[in-house]
Amino acid sequence: MSQKRIVQSLQGFLDEDGLVIPNSAVIMKGNFKRELAKYFLASLKRGQKILDLNPGLHGIYDELDLSQIAYVALEQNSRIRSFLEERHIAVLNWKIPKVPLENNSVDFVLSAAFLEHLPTYVDALNVLLEMRRVLTSEGRILVIVPNYLRIKDFFFEDYKHGWVTTRKRVIDMLNDCHFEIIGSRYTLGWITMRTNLLVSFLRLFLSFSLALLRINFVDRILETFKLERLSYRFQKTFFELVAIEARVKK
């Protein structure tokens, strides 16, 4: 494909700053969003504030009762900000890492499919330190990231991925930012956060299936029949994530 055609194909996804509109949050399925919404409604009191670091075009706000919870999104892409503003979603322009909010002003931070898009561990560390600043003394954070140890090289199939994320790396960083870990779990991709025997079996089955898709001769077959994009979307939906919850350390 020529450079001109590539630029033309991207024009609909670029804002005036030349930032590509990421599609990572769009992968989040309705059931996953509903589970998150129920979790937040059960965890937060009326009027408490949740800060979303990666709202996307179809994020968790679709499922939240915004009359009960104060939802604020951070977004650096002007087109996504406009989309959210048209839907009357509170959104702030974010120049990473500094958050335009006061100290101790947020009750919960959601970071879903975000940290892995930062270039280095220093960038991720600075963002988490900033989240620590804006959270109240009782504040909590939920971080959801790909598990590199399971998906291996597929992590870098998304050219926007930078800092490599695993359960241990994120937990260590949260600890260094003065957070206390509450718990963690692996998810069935962007489908469900539930943990039961059936989900555990499906996770194993999908891990085996995704590993097969990354074998060279299987990859060649998919390429021959022009199924690479379908394979990519399948892997992007079902690859293993880790969800880690932490609270501000006393």
Q: What pLDDT shows up at residue 236?
A: 78
Across-strand partners of 17? none
pLDDT digits (tens, 9 = 90+) for 33-88: 888 888 887 888 889 999 999 998 878 898 888 888 899 999 988 888 999 999 99
Q: Which residue has the higher pLDDT, 44 or 105?
A: 105
Q: Model confidence over 53-66: pLDDT tens digits?
A: 999 887 889 888 88
Q: How far apart are the first and last CA of the chain?
A: 55
The token pair at 72 is 């604020």
Q: Which of 59-68, 212-221, 231-240 has the highest mean pLDDT?
A: 59-68
Q: List residues bridging with 70 in a β-sheet.
A: 49
Judge whether residue 7 has pLDDT over 80. Answer: no
Is residue 166 a contact partner of residue 174, using CB atoms and an 8 Å limit?
no
- Whole-prediction pTM: 0.85
pLDDT digits (tens, 9 = 90+) for 116-156: 999 999 999 999 999 999 999 999 999 999 999 988 888 99
Q: Which CATH class is domain 3-248?
A: alpha beta
Confidence at residue 218, expressed as pLDDT on a 0 to 100 scale: 73
How high is the pLDDT of residue 27?
Answer: 55
Q: Inform me whether the pLDDT recorded for 234 exceeds 90.
A: no
Residue 188 DSSP class: B
Which helix (H) or strand (E) is 33 found in, with range? Answer: helix 30-43
Averaged pLDDT for residues 166-175: 98
Q: What ranges do the domains of the chain cover? A: 3-248
